[in-house]
Amino acid sequence: MSSSLADSVDMAEVGKVDGRADFLGAVILPTGFTFEGTQVGGLSGITYDRANDRYLAISDDRSQVNDARFYELGIDLSGGVLHGVQFTGVTTLKRPDGTPFPERSLDPEGIALSGDGTLYISSEGDASRLINPFVDHFSLGGKDLSSLPIPAEFLPSADGESGIRNNLAFESLTITPDGRTLFTAVENALIQDGPAASLSNTSPCRIVRYDLKTGQVVAEYIYKTDAIPFAPQHAAEFANNGLVEMLALDNTGTLLALERSYASGVGNSIRLYEVHTQAASDVSGFEAVHGLSIDAVADKRLLLDLADLGITLDNVEGMTFGPVLEDGRQSLILVSDNNFSQSQKTEVIAIALDVEKMAAVPASGEDSLLPAPRQRIRRCFPTKATPCFGPQAKRCQARCSG
């Protein structure tokens, strides 16, 4: 039913980066695959429920293919190898009145599980139609419970001179390990803040920091994306680069940031950065930062260019930490958004990170990346018989059906 990059990549020769990261495998889901009456696609964000060893992945379907929704899935990493992916549930997003979101009323991109078992979901909105972005609080049943305030400078304007750029808004969403702070960010600069990323320009994105106890914005920081790393095959064709996901490494403002670039005729470039916001200037009081002298922007350092893993990459937009592996390393799961296109693919990638070799990640204490005890990795997902994908799909299905 599907194929996996693990079938075609010699993992003894490919997928190791200076001992810091190892490729554990990848699974490709066919475009058009359906689950419980919905087309699986547009996976733009993913979060891990450690207590129940399950993942929740948001689709960026604007209620156009099916109602806006997120999926529950299991990912088998037993033995430190990605064996398969199994979808086990789908939940429709519902407005406060309990009805599904109307077509094109939202563009869900980010998802993060909070400490109380509820969710935060971000939407890019639609600047071309003056639909505001949001970061809303949802129940696990999919009901919209409340909204975090969006600062006025982010809202799209009728004259097109300020606010989010279309399709370049709140892609990123993460909550700190202590559950007290939420970070989101725009993919590229607000119109009034500076240029979108180009072959010659970086783009000054705003990272927004919320206090989840008060529900208020407490700071905004500038993060500069890279310029677009590769020119398209033909000069007039499409190319971009943006900040598409973040993960909180600690409770003090250290993040992993994922930048995704695409150039027509060339392909995708995916890079992972370590980011420090602690010394960055708070720009939350400024409607625009263009032309301002900012004392300090968020500091970033390249950790991993996924091209070094030697694997084919699609439109990767989501990432989350999974369980601690049996050898003590930290798993990192990435998902790609196929845009519901037959020319693209939904890809689930697993990487092992050696946390001790990643600078500035605390080893213990309140701000540690992960709890100390290792968690057993389930070898089966004993739910109703639903499709398993990957090189061990038949074995997985037999176990789960038995």
The whole-model pTM stands at: 0.88
9 has pLDDT over 70 = no
Spatial separation of the C-alpha atoms in residues 334 and 211, rounded to whole Å = 27
SS3 122: strand
Shortest CA distance to 161 belongs to which of 272, 290, 285, 49? Answer: 290
Structural domain boundaries in the chain: 3-401
pLDDT digits (tens, 9 = 90+) for 246-292: 999 999 999 999 999 999 999 999 999 999 999 999 999 899 999 88
**Token pair for residue 171?**
């892609």
Residue 296, burial from CB neighbour count under 10 angstroms (0-12, 13-18, 19+) = middle
Please state which of the ranges 40-49, 64-73, 81-90, 393-402 shows the lowest mean pLDDT. 393-402
- Rg over CA atoms, the chain: 20
Shortest CA distance to 256 belongs to which of 210, 320, 315? Answer: 320
CB contact burial 196-211 (16+ within 10 A = b; e otherwise): bbeeebbbbbbbbbbe
**Token pair for residue 52?**
């129940």
Spatial separation of the C-alpha atoms in residues 4 and 166, rounded to whole Å = 34
**Are 347 and 25 within 8 A, CB to CB?**
no
Spatial separation of the C-alpha atoms in residues 75 and 39, rounded to whole Å = 19
Report the CATH number of the 3-401 domain: 2.120.10
pLDDT in the model for residue 273 = 96
175 has pLDDT over 60 = yes
95 has pLDDT over 90 = yes
Spatial separation of the C-alpha atoms in residues 258 and 332, rounded to whole Å = 12
User: What region, left, alpha or beta, does residue 19 occupy, with left being phi > 0 and alpha being psi -120 to 50 degrees?
Assistant: left
